[in-house]
Amino acid sequence: MSFDWKYLLSLASYSEFWTASLTVVWLSVLTWCVSVALGFGVAIARTEGPGWLRQLSAVYIWFFRSVPLLVLLIFIYNLPQMLPELRPVLSNPFWAGAIALIVSEVAYISEIHRGGLISIDRGQHEAAHVLGIRSFGKYFKIIVPQAFRVAMPTLSNEFITIVKLTSLVSVISLSEILLVGQRLYTRNFLVIETLVAVSVYYVLIVTIFTWIARWIENHLDVTRRRATETEIAKTRFEHPVVTGERIRKSDIVVDLNRVRKSFGDKRVVNDISLQIRSGEVVCLIGPSGSGKTTLLRTINALQDIDGGTICFHGEDWICGDGKYQLSQTFRDDVIHLGMVFQSFNLFPHLTVLENVTLGPRYHTMGSADELRAFAMLNLDKVGMAAHAQKYPHQLSGGQKQRVAIARALAMKPLVMLFDEPTSALDPEMVSEVLQTIEGLAAEGMTMLIVTHEMRFAARISDRIIMLENGSRVAEASADDLRNGITDARIRRFMEQSQH
């Protein structure tokens, strides 16, 4: 028996195949889109939810990955026998098929999303925290877009799997491509030719969607975008003083009282009390591992404490005595503490301008035009206005850190916390960041800075506090800094660090 080419070619214009192809496309797109959306919910519940929700999502994933799709299809299609009220929906093979596919795919796709979610650096969550962006906004604007980009190649692969899985829906009589083919060859017995045509229709669909997926992947990949510099008229920005003139006020902005923190058996912060007054610049110095970063991070609750209390502007803020507790206003007020991280923690999927406006826009701190203007003003202050339309990967380390400073300033903070802002920078980029911080000090910004840059610390500080093994061991006052540091321990440490 010879291969019937003429018959095969005639199937190219067989309208039932085209109708069935549209059904397959519609069913696959619907399944993929709904499963991608619901899968995110399950993945977030599995990674971040309370214990019971994590368990529930784990059981869902385990169960529906174990049940064969064919069994699920037949079960759902026949469910109206038990629950007749479901008949209007489930007696339609398209909807029964779509529901079975979605229920099964959510289990698989949520695991793909989980891979994307756990690949996102912890620093992204921390940056959202210090900008006061709460869970929903954080996931919607920061985490999910990045996780989606990471998961996209596997998700597009899953789409192709779904296209092929739709052929199983023929068991509940949905007229998809395979069923149309089966009906044909049971009439004409041209099995091979008909199955070749069936395959060609599937290949066509998969090819078109592979192109579309590649286009989406490329579109989401910001590293492919060209860097564009923004033309800036030099006189355009007026720089208001950030926190008023540099006057020593008596009001205490941050007040730490006997703060303690241990990791396991190791006491990392040991009964530290520290007051920072408005307009004051305090540097924390000390050997590596002495607890400087941990102490700084307790102030905005990036790190919890085991004991002691922290007040912000005279109000109870964090309590570590007994059960660790944040004040009721903490979530609203945390935006008044600007934070600059060692590793910048810029949002890589957003432009420089979008990075700086994200927090103020989330908190509706003004109209879009006002926020854009204020962001440009802050970018100009740190010398980055010309780079407003670039993405973080298009910047040097020093430039990234200056954008991070502008992002913190855009929230109009009352105090800025710097966690070793130059440690991740090449030596030639350190000075540009230090100059920016010195500019803020000159404007009267209240700052607490963890640094290993001793000359900078001596130049900029009103006070230097030295930690060792988690304890506050020495202090250099404003007088000391003006007239020469008398404390031998600080002097020795600063001299050693400069060599």
Ligand X SMILES: Nc1ncnc2c1ncn2[C@@H]1O[C@H](COP(=O)(O)OP(=O)(O)OP(=O)(O)O)[C@@H](O)[C@H]1O
**Smaller CB distance to ligand X: residue 291 or 338?**
291
Burial of 200 (0-12, 13-18, 19+ CB in 10 A): middle
Q: How far is the CB of 302 from ligand X (least distance, A)?
A: 10
C-alpha–C-alpha distance, residues 249 and 127, integer Å: 30
Retrieve residue 202's tokens.
């599937």
Nearer Cβ to ligand X, position 479 or 495?
Answer: 495
Please, which residue, 195 or 424, has the CB nearer to ligand X?
Answer: 424
Closest CA to 179 of 350, 17, 60, 351: 17
Terminal Cα distance for the chain, rounded? 89
* CB of 481 vs ligand X, minimal distance in Å: 21
325-326 β-sheet, strand order: 266-277, 252-263, 307-312, 315-319, 325-326
Here the tokens at position 39 are 């899968």
Closest listed residue to residue 174, CA positions, set 348, 388, 358, 165: 165
**Helical residues (DSSP H) of 131-190, grouped into ranges:** 135-138, 144-165, 177-188
Q: Minimal distance in Å, beta carbon 102 to ligand X? A: 39
- Using CB under 6 A, list all residues that contact ligand X: 263, 268, 286, 288-294, 420
Spatial CB neighbours of 428, under 8 Å, sequence gap ≥ 6: 398
Alpha carbons within 13 angstroms on the beta-carbon side of residue 120 total: 28
Cα–Cα distance for residue pair 177/139, rounded to 1 Å: 39
Residue 291 or residue 348: which is nearer to ligand X going by CB? 291
Least distance to ligand X, CB of residue 454, Å: 13
Compute the least distance from the CB of residue 420 to ligand X, in Å. Answer: 6
Distance in Å, CB of 410 to ligand X, minimum:
26
Q: How far is the CB of 396 from ligand X (least distance, A)?
A: 22
Nearest to 44 by CA among 133, 131, 113, 98: 113
Q: Toward ligand X, which CB reaches closer, 333 or 420? A: 420
Between 235 and 288, whose beta carbon lies closer to ligand X? 288
- Least distance between ligand X and beta carbon 286 (Å): 6
Give the pairing of strands 315-319 and 325-326: antiparallel
DSSP 8-state class, residue 341: -
Q: Please give the Cα distance from 456 to 461 (Å, whole number).
A: 8
C-beta closer to ligand X: residue 57 or 290: 290
Nearer to ligand X, 294 or 394 (CB): 294
* 301 in Cβ contact with 327 (< 8 Å): no
| For ligand X, the closer CB: 318 or 335 | 318
Question: Smallest gap, in angstroms, from Cβ of residue 267 to ligand X?
Answer: 9
